[in-house]
Structure 1
Amino acid sequence: MNATPVLVGYTAVVGLVAPHLILRARWPHRAPALAAAVWQALTVAFSIGAALTAYHLALPAEHLHAGVLGLLHSCGLNIGAGSPDPAIAHRLAVVLPGSVGVALAGSFFFHVVRARLTRARHREAVDLVGRRSARLSATVLPYDVPAAYCLPGRHPRVVISDAAVRELTTEQLTAVLEHEQAHISGRHHLALAAAEAFHSVFRRLPLARHTREQTALLLEMIADDRALRGHSDEALATAMYEMAAARTPKGAFAAGGHTVLIRLKRVLGPRKAPHPAVWAAVAAAAVAVPMLPLLVACPPGLG
C-alpha cells in the first residue's frame, strides 16, 4: 500500500480540521491540563506526519516518478543525466524529514534562550528596584496599580506591586501568589516555548496559530485551578478583576492580562469536570494521534 496519500490526508486533517473541532468543543475549559496536552499532541502528530510524508515522497520506489526527485526530473530540473538517481532520492529521503525536526528543535531552542535572556534582564531590574518579602515569598515593586506576575526559569521570581499588597485582602493576595507559583512549579514557560516554536515553523497553519493562543489561555486556567484548591472563587475572581488593567512584561505570566474576561466567566460559573469516559477517551486519543502516522508508514508485520 502506498502510504503517501494516507499520510498527506492525515496531516491535513490534523493541521486544518482538528483545531476547529477542539475550538467548538465544551470540554477543554473544563479540563485545561488535558486540553493543553491535546494541543501539544496535535503539533507532535503534525510534525511526524509532515516528516514522514516528505520521507515517502523522496524515497525511491518501483516508479520513481511518484516521488519528489521524479517530479523535479519531469519538470526539467535534472539532477544528473538520464533518469532519476536512486542514490540522490535516498539522500533526499533523509534530508527532507530531517529538516523538519531540525527546524522545530532550532526554533524551540531559540525561543527558550530568547525568553530566558529577556527574563534575566527584567529580573535584574526587579531585584534593584523592588524589595524582597520573606512573608510573601515574592518581590514587591513600587507600582500604584495592583499587579502580580512571575518570571519562571532557573532563578524564578514572583513579583507583586505594593498597590496589590495594600488593596487586596489576605485571601485574595494568597490566591494570586499561588496562581503565580503554579506557573513556576509547572514549568509552563517550556510548554509556551514549544507552542511558539511550532508557530514559527508553520506560521500559516491554523493548528499553529490556535495552539499558540489556546496554550497561553489554558496555562492560565491551570494556574487558576491551582489557586482555587485552597481559596474561594470570589477571592480569586476579585483579585483578577483588580489586576485586569496591569501591564505584563514580556516573558512573564500574570494573574491579570487580556484573558481575564474569559477566565472570570469560568471561575465564577459552574465548573463541572468532564465525564470520566470523555476524559479517558480524549486522553487515549492524545496518546494515539501522534502514533498513527508511524503505524501507517511502518505497519506491523511488514519487513
Structure 2
Amino acid sequence: MSAALILLAYAAVLALAGPRLLARGDWTERAPKLGIIAWQSLAATIVVSVALAGFALVVPTMRVSADLADLLKACIMALRSQYATPGGAAAAAVGATAGLAVLARAVWCVAASLTTAVRSRGRHRDTLALVGTPSPRLGAVVVDHDEPAVYCLPGWRRRIVVTTGALRLLDDDQLAATLAHERAHLDQRHDLVLAWSGGLARAFPRIRLFTQAHTETMRLVELLADDVAARTSERLTLAEALLNLAGARTPAAALGAGGTTAALRVRRLIAPHRPLGRARTALTSTTVAVLLALPLIGLAAPAIATGHLHYCPPGSVAASTMR
C-alpha cells in the first residue's frame, strides 16, 4: 500500500509542478529537441507511475531474507495474508484493474490517433495521385492551386506537396528552405511524436498536463524543423518564407510550413541564435532521465536487493555433496 501511495503522490506532484518547471524560461525554444523529450518523458512518467501504483497493490511488499527457504515462506505468508481478507483481495483487484485500465486507455487512444492520421493521409495521397504532378527536381508533388502552401504527408509513402501559388510567391532560396523544413519533419518522424502526445491528451482530457504537453510538442516540432532547415539555408531566408506562408492552410494529418506558430517562429529566426550550452543540456537530460526512472527504481528496489543476496551460504553446496 505504501508503494502505491508513493507512486500516486509522485505522479500528482509531477502533474502539478512539471509543466511549470518546463515552461520556465526559454530553454525549450533554444533546445527544442530536448524540450520535446522532456515533455514526452513527463507525460510517460505520470502514466507509468499511476499504472505501477495499481500493480503495487497486487503483490504485497515484504522484507527480503538472505535464506531462500525463508524468502519463499515469507512470500507465501504475505500472499495468504493479502488475499485471505476481503479487503486485501479487493485492493488487489482494484489495483490490477486500475493499472491495466490506465495502460489500456493510453495504448488504445494513441493507436486510434495514429490510425486516424494514417487513414486521412491515405485518402489525401489518393487525391494527389489524381490532381498532383510529381516534380523530381523539387522532390515534391505540385498541385495547381492559387493559395500558397507547402506541407508534407508523413508515413511509408511520404510526400511533400507544393502548390503553384507557393511556386509563384517564393523565390528559389525561400523554396529550398521551406522544403528542407518539410524534409526535417519526415526524416525525424514528428508524426509519431505528435500521435503519442495527441493520444495521451485524448485519453486523459481532464488532466491539463497532457493537453499542454501536446500543445507544446506541436510548437516544438516546428521549431526543431526550422533549426534543421537553417543548417542548409539562411535563417532570414526561412523567416521570409514563413511570412509568405503564414496564412496557409494545412490539411488534416499533414505538417505544414506555415500555421498559427509562424509569428513566433519568425521572431525566433530573426533574433540571434542562442543554442543551449553543453552543461545545461547535460543537466536537463540527466534530470529528465532521473524523473522517468524513479518509479521503476522505486518499485524494483526489493527485487534488486534480492538479486544481490546469496541464498545459499558459502560451503553449503560442498557440504551437501559430501553427504
Of 280, 286, 289, the residue aligned with 1:287 is 289
In 1: Cα distance, 2:257 partner to 2:228 partner: 12
Deviation, structure 1 residue 150: 0.3
**One-letter amino acid of the counterpart of residue 41, structure 1:** S
> Unpaired segments of 5 or more residues in structure 2?
63-83, 307-323
In 2: Cα distance, 1:125 partner to 1:139 partner: 11
CA deviations on 1:93-139 (whole Å, 9 max, x unpaired) are: 33321221111111111111110000111111122112111110101
2:225 aligns to what SS in structure 1? helix
Aligned to 1:30: 30
Aligned to 2:4: 4
Write the mapping of 1:25-104 to structure 2, written as runs, cut at 5 A. 25-57=25-57, 83-84=85-86, 86-104=88-106
In 2: Cα distance, 1:285 partner to 1:255 partner: 32
Deviation, structure 1 residue 61: 7.2
**One-letter amino acid of the counterpart of residue 273, structure 2:** R
Deviation, structure 1 residue 59: 5.2
1:240·1:256 contact (CA, 8 Å) conserved in 2? Answer: yes
1:28 aligns to what SS in structure 2? helix
**One-letter amino acid of the counterpart of residue 255, structure 2:** F
Of 152, 157, 160, the residue aligned with 1:158 is 160
2:19 aligns to what SS in structure 1? helix
Deviation, structure 1 residue 234: 1.5
Is 1:243 matched with 2:242? no
In 1: Cα distance, 2:31 partner to 2:88 partner: 50
**One-letter amino acid of the counterpart of residue 143, structure 2:** L
In 2: Cα distance, 1:291 partner to 1:15 partner: 16
1:146·1:164 contact (CA, 8 Å) conserved in 2? Answer: yes
**One-letter amino acid of the counterpart of residue 136, structure 2:** A
> Unpaired segments of 5 or more residues in structure 1?
63-81
**One-letter amino acid of the counterpart of residue 272, structure 1:** R
Write the mapping of 1:1-303 to structure 2, written as runs, cut at 5 A. 2-57=2-57, 83-84=85-86, 86-299=88-301, 301-303=304-306
CA deviations on 1:50-89 (whole Å, 9 max, x unpaired) are: 1122233565679xxxxxxxxxxxxxxxxxxx95164454
**One-letter amino acid of the counterpart of residue 175, structure 1:** A
2:251 aligns to what SS in structure 1? coil
In 2: Cα distance, 1:91 partner to 1:35 partner: 38
CA deviations on 1:235-268 (whole Å, 9 max, x unpaired) are: 1011100011111100000000011011111111
1:150 aligns to what SS in structure 2? strand
Report the count of equivalent residues: 284
**One-letter amino acid of the counterpart of residue 142, structure 1:** D
In 1: Cα distance, 2:87 partner to 2:281 partner: 50
1:273 aligns to what SS in structure 2? coil
2:44 aligns to what SS in structure 1? helix
In 1: Cα distance, 2:128 partner to 2:261 partner: 24
In 2: Cα distance, 1:254 partner to 1:197 partner: 20
1:136 aligns to what SS in structure 2? coil
In 2: Cα distance, 1:218 partner to 1:262 partner: 11
1:60·1:89 contact (CA, 8 Å) conserved in 2? Answer: no
* Mean CA deviation greater in 263-272 or 252-261: 263-272
In 2: Cα distance, 1:298 partner to 1:25 partner: 35
**One-letter amino acid of the counterpart of residue 268, structure 1:** I
RMSD: 1.9
Question: Looking at CA atoms only, which structure, 1 or 2, has the larger radius of gyration?
Answer: 2
In 1: Cα distance, 2:290 partner to 2:46 partner: 13
In 2: Cα distance, 1:292 partner to 1:159 partner: 44
| TM-score under structure 2 length normalisation | 0.83
